[in-house]
Amino acid sequence: MDIIALSGINIVYAVASLFLLAAGLSIIFGMMGVINLAHGEFLMLGGFAFVLSVNAGIDFWISMFVVAPLVVMFIGMVMERLIVRHLYGRTVETILATWGVSLFLIGVTSVTLGYQQLGVSAPLGSVEIGDYRVGGYTFFIIGLAVAVLAFLYAILRWSSFGLKARGTMQNASTAATLGVNVGYVYSATFGLGAAISGLAGAAFAPIAGVTPVSGLTYIGKAFITVIAGGPLPLIGTSTASLLLGFINSAVTAISTPVLGEIALLAAAILLLRLLPAGITGRFFRGGL
Amino acid sequence: MKTELTSPAFIAAFVIGGAIVFAAPLFLETYDLFNFTVFAIMAMLAISLNFVWGIGGILSLGQALFFGLGGYAYAITAINLGSGWGILAAIAVPCLFALIVGYVAFYGRISDVYFGVVSLTISLILYNFVNSTSDAFYTIGTARLGGYNGIPSVPPIQAPWAAQPLGFEAMYVLCALTALVFYLGVRLFVSAPFGRVIIAVRENDLRAELLGYDPRYHRLVVFAIGAAMSGLAGAYFAAWGAFIGPDTFSVSFAAQAIIWVLFGGLGTLIGPVVGALSVSWFTTWLGEVRLLDPNIALGLLFIISVLLVPNGMVPALRRLLERLRIVKERADT
Amino acid sequence: MIVETSDLWRTFGGVAAVAGVNFKLEPGELRCLIGSNGAGKSTFFKLLTGQLRPSKGHISILGRQTTTSQPFEISRLGVGIKTQVPNLFEGLSVRENLHLAARRTHAGKATRLAAEAMLEDIELADRAGAPVRELSHGQRQWVELGMVLVSEPKLVLLDEPAAGMTQAEVERTAMLLQRMRKDRAFIIVEHDMHFVRNIAERVTVFHRGRILVEDTMEAVTSNTEVRNAYLGQKFGKSHE
């Protein structure tokens, strides 16, 4: 019985992690059609901002919920302003340029911060389930994923920014003729995606530590989740996280994490064979 | 195209270029020759990526993974069965893998961008997988995969009729010659009827399809050939350094291949070779002088290539020369 | 029957763009499909060419079931297809475009001869070496018509071949089609009434995803039901 509860928690945790890792990427992809190859570095920078800020004596939660998102949001908006903005509508060039940014950020952090791993220990103790112990932080990650989903939904659904962003997503030129400042919307969307990535990076730092190449361990999963999810950022990423997180944790449980990752990739590729535009390319049209 | 191939100027340039390449062992130090060999191998990878991406229009961001697969296939097979079989495996394994991935992707009509990201993700996950194989459990025949330590003591290439494996000079000539064959092969391919259809599919796949060409099939063929080419380059690389490691699956290596092609000129024939040589030389030099972290340099080069020289250096230089010629002509008259 | 559809449906998220169309085309017939915007002509066209899959119903073309065929398979039956937007190999020359089209059905030297003959037919021999992206809109449309016809198709499907053309170009296109008519069957989706009157024998009027009327051009123009369907869209007056 306990083992079943434990497995259940592991699966939910895997789903929540996937969603958190992919959410920032999916906002940028879903709203702007831009695949940000520097997404992994956004996560990494979020992790560093968080760890350095905690080490500097700033409160754990403030570091996570304020410092990390703001730092990465700023970096994201600078990047949008300097590079991505000049490439709108040219998807392939955008991918390539953001890849350049990714390498650049890895280089800069390894020069300034070195290659050694930085970390902060996870708070919140642990919970006993029968003979097993589960870290309280596991539940925090699950809760955080739910909160991020709710927050993004609320912003996109009810805020005036959300309305403008959705309009721009549907048809940028029509939105522009209606007086929406499309450049501002893109910049803000990029900033929002980057902030969420920064938060996610911070949230995983106590578990996995941070190095300049930390991003690389996350992006494979993030890309696959977003692409399998398709164009709608929230429904797409959450349904894909559900499906792939389940497969990933089930295979990991009976073999190794690497095989779990391979299974996740294989499942996603098979999914794309059936639904070339991802889950929301076929279903849930017109949602978020 | 056909007339260009038989034009005297082209043949002359080719003969002179070839002569310089093959005379190199006569006046180069062993160390330089060693470096030139790896440049030739990188040129092979660049040509194969350009073949898939520039000619075939397939956004194969993770193309370098076939290089890694070829290297590993060579290493494992050569350790067990000898280098001849190793070369065959290095061509066959990546080709087969590309056929499977390509079949799923192209016949499923996955979009270009999705394909690019998926191919990169495959590379990432192979990287993680190979890194996790340090356990002795991952042994094929007598070859241990070795995880992040890679496979050491990869046997050199030896012709079945020869008593000795290839030495430094012979290895250099083999690599340079193969690069030359790749270059010529792609050049011939582009002007051949099948190559024209490939370009038609790249230019407008719906139109090609409405004319009765199956774009899925054509893409698959190009992708598989390109993978085999990259695989062979990977085999040479493993034989050259007597080593193959998981870094061949790393994102930064995949990025390097992309930069070579992009910087030199995507879709041009000589551009990717120029890009591979100049950028490899540049990063080697950076490594020696320790001026700048190579990732920073590559990242900046990447961004600059996309933003400022979107068609690559070779076309940009060509335009510059053309402009200078016009200016000069005007000045003359 | 050259083309036959039975109870053909295509829905997009609950909206039926094509709603139970039964369509027949006899050998050698030239049929124009007309109807207001959103009447379902273009969706019907895409179903015939394999660019879309029907939600329900069957299609047979030249005696084969093509309901689930890919576009290239339909093309290989001997069907020439021109889509609505000019769809060309922009970077290749006029000659290369025609050559690629001819190569599927001609062998060796015949390919070149067919392409050269078509260059004359579409009166673009003097621009043969130019990349098609440098041509005018009308010329590009003719290149595409040439690509469709050079493969000697048994059935020709054209989606708005006269779209965006000047009056003179429209007339020239109509003449070109008459000349290339031979004994082929044609289905032409067209907005330009001037063009339709120039060329059509029978027309099929689409309305709300269904076939409203199928008759001669004269009969259709005087049909009040058709006039109502167009809701005063100057039907029968100009080429609007």
Question: How much is the ipTM here?
Answer: 0.86
- Closest chain B residue to the Cα of A111, Cα to Cα: B293
pLDDT at B6: 62
Q: Which residues of C touch B197 (CB under 8 A)?
A: 100, 103
Amino acid at A281: G
**Short-list A209, A161, A149, CA closest to A185:** A161
Looking at per-residue pLDDT, the higher value among A166 and B220 belongs to B220
Amino acid at C49: T
pLDDT at B9: 65
pLDDT at A66: 92
Only one residue has tokens 């193309």, namely B63
Tokens representing B63 are 């193309």
Tokens representing B278 are 């100049």
Helices then strands, counting H and E runs in chain B, come out as 14, 2
> Are A189 and A165 a contacting pair, CB within 8 Å?
yes
Q: Does pLDDT of A198 surpass 50?
A: yes
pLDDT at A121: 77
Write out the residue range of the structural domain in which residue A81 sits.
Answer: 2-282
Domain segments of chain B: what residues?
2-249, 250-333
- Closest chain B residue to the Cα of A40, Cα to Cα: B251
Whether residues B199 and C151 touch (CB distance < 8 A) is answered with no
Whether residues C100 and B197 touch (CB distance < 8 A) is answered with yes
Residue A287 falls inside a structural domain? no
Whether residues C104 and B193 touch (CB distance < 8 A) is answered with no
Looking at per-residue pLDDT, the higher value among B14 and C103 belongs to C103
Contacts of A237 (CB under 8 A, 6+ apart): A19, A22, A23, A26, A225, A226, A229
CA gap A69, A63 in Å, rounded: 9
pLDDT digits (tens, 9 = 90+) for B177-235: 899 889 988 988 988 888 888 988 988 888 888 888 999 999 999 999 999 999 999 99
Whether residues C75 and B215 touch (CB distance < 8 A) is answered with no
Residue A286, judged by CB atoms within 10 A of its CB (0-12, 13-18, 19+), counts as exposed
Q: How far is A40 from chain B (nearest CA, A)?
A: 12
Q: Within a 10 A sphere around the Cβ of A117, how many other Cβ atoms?
A: 12
**Chain B, window 188-207: residues with a beta carbon less than 8 angstroms from a chain C beta carbon:** 193, 196-197, 199-200, 203-204, 206-207
CA angle (C47, C53, C56) in 5-degree steps:
95
Whether residues A100 and B303 touch (CB distance < 8 A) is answered with yes
Q: Does pLDDT of A45 surpass 80?
A: yes
State which fold the C1-78+153-240 domain adopts.
Rossmann fold (3.40.50)
How is residue B11 annotated by DSSP? H
> Are C33 and C189 a contacting pair, CB within 8 Å?
yes
Q: Between the CA of residue B202 and those of A177, B53, B267, C46, C151, what are the distances in Å?
A: 34, 9, 11, 22, 21
Q: Which residues of A touch B108 (CB under 8 A)?
A: 272-274, 276
Whether residues B108 and A274 touch (CB distance < 8 A) is answered with yes
Mean pLDDT on A107-132:
80
B213 close to C (CB below 8 A): yes
pLDDT at B65: 95
CA gap A8, C37 in Å, rounded: 54
Residues of chain B with pLDDT under 70: 1-7, 9-10, 13
Whether residues B296 and A35 touch (CB distance < 8 A) is answered with no
CA gap B174, B83 in Å, rounded: 14
Contacts of A92 (CB under 8 A, 6+ apart): B59, B112, B113, B116
Helix, strand, coil share of chain A (percent; to 5): 80, 5, 20
CA gap A286, A267 in Å, rounded: 25
Q: Which residues of A touch B310 (CB under 8 A)?
A: 93
Helix or strand or coil: residue A43?
Answer: helix
Long-range contacts of the stretch A245-248 (C-beta < 8 A, 24+): A245/A11, A245/A14, A245/A15, A245/A16, A245/A17, A245/A18, A245/A19, A246/A11, A246/A14, A246/A15, A248/A14, A248/A18, A248/A221
Whether residues B306 and A224 touch (CB distance < 8 A) is answered with no
Query: B3, B207, B218, B266: which to substitute to probe chain C, counting the most C Cβ within 10 Å?
Result: B207
Which stretches of chain B sit within 8 Å of chain A by CB? Answer: 59, 61, 101, 104-105, 107-114, 116-118, 120-122, 124-125, 128-129, 132, 250-252, 255, 258, 262, 293-303, 305-307, 310
Q: Between the CA of residue A129 and those of A5, A253, A254, B191, B204, what are the distances in Å?
A: 8, 18, 21, 69, 60
Name the pTM for this structure.
0.86
Contacts of B109 (CB under 8 A, 6+ apart): A276, B216
Q: Does pLDDT of A67 surpass 80?
A: yes
Tell me how many domains chain A contains. Answer: 1
Residue-averaged pLDDT of chain A: 86
- b vs e for C124-140, b when ≥16 Cβ sit within 10 Å of the residue's Cβ? beebbeebbeebeebbb
pLDDT at C240: 37
Amino acid at B153: S
Q: Which residues of C touch B200 (CB under 8 A)?
A: 89, 92, 100
Whether residues A103 and B121 touch (CB distance < 8 A) is answered with no
Q: Within a 10 A sphere around the Cβ of C164, how many other Cβ atoms?
A: 14
Cα torsion through B59, B65, B71, B76, rounded to 10: -130
Q: Residues in chain C, how many?
A: 240
CA gap A104, B302 in Å, rounded: 9
Whether residues B114 and A108 touch (CB distance < 8 A) is answered with no
Q: Which residues of C touch B193 (CB under 8 A)?
A: 103
Q: Which residues of B touch C72 (CB under 8 A)?
A: 209-215
- Closest chain B residue to the Cα of C111, Cα to Cα: B193
Tokens representing C126 are 């003097």
Q: How far is B107 from chain A (nearest CA, A)?
A: 8
Candidates B204, B212, B214; nearest CB to C87: B204
Q: Between the CA of residue A78 and those of A75, B64, C64, what are the distances in Å?
A: 5, 31, 58
pLDDT digits (tens, 9 = 90+) for C17-72: 898 899 999 888 889 898 887 788 889 999 999 989 999 999 999 988 999 888 88
Count how many Cα atoms sit within 13 Å of the Cα of residue C134 in the half-sphere of its side chain: 10
Q: Does pLDDT of C154 surpass 70?
A: yes
Looking at per-residue pLDDT, the higher value among C221 and C126 belongs to C126
Strand order in the sheet with C3-12: C15-25, C3-12, C56-61, C64-65
**CATH label of the domain that carries residue A10:** 1.10.3470
Contacts of B205 (CB under 8 A, 6+ apart): B215
pLDDT at A1: 67
Q: How far is C208 from chain B (nearest CA, A)?
A: 27
Helix or strand or coil: residue C110?
Answer: helix
CA gap A270, A286 in Å, rounded: 24
Q: Does pLDDT of A193 surpass 90?
A: yes
CA gap B197, C160 in Å, rounded: 26
Q: How far is C165 from chain B (nearest CA, A)?
A: 21
- Closest chain B residue to the Cα of C86, Cα to Cα: B207
Lowest-confidence pick of A7-21, A163-177, C13-27, C93-107: A163-177
Domain segments of chain C: what residues?
1-78+153-240, 89-151
Strands (E), chain C: 3-12, 15-25, 30-34, 56-61, 64-65, 79-82, 155-159, 185-189, 202-207, 210-216
Mean pLDDT on A176-199:
85
Q: Which residues pair with C213 in a beta bridge?
A: C205
Q: Within a 10 A sphere around the Cβ of C24, how many other Cβ atoms?
A: 14
Contacts of A159 (CB under 8 A, 6+ apart): none
Contacts of B111 (CB under 8 A, 6+ apart): A276, A277
Alpha helices in B108-245 (DSSP H): 112-131, 168-191, 193-203, 205-210, 215-241
Q: Between the CA of residue B278 and those of B36, B42, B43, B271, B284, what are the distances in Å?
A: 12, 11, 10, 10, 10
Whether residues C89 and B200 touch (CB distance < 8 A) is answered with yes
pLDDT at C42: 87
Q: Which residues of B touch C92 (CB under 8 A)?
A: 199-200, 203
Q: Which residues of C touch B215 (CB under 8 A)?
A: 72
Q: Which residues pair with C15 in a beta bridge?
A: C12
Q: Which residues of A touch B105 (CB under 8 A)?
A: 269, 272-273
Whether residues A220 and B125 touch (CB distance < 8 A) is answered with yes
Candidates A101, A270, A272; nearest CB to B303: A101
pLDDT digits (tens, 9 = 90+) for A209-228: 889 988 888 888 899 899 88
- Closest chain B residue to the Cα of A261, Cα to Cα: B125
Q: Between the CA of residue B205 and those of A221, B163, B216, C89, what are the distances in Å?
A: 31, 51, 9, 9
Residue A228 falls inside a structural domain? yes
Angle in degrees, 0-180, between the axes of helices B251-264 and B294-307, rounded to the nearest 10: 40
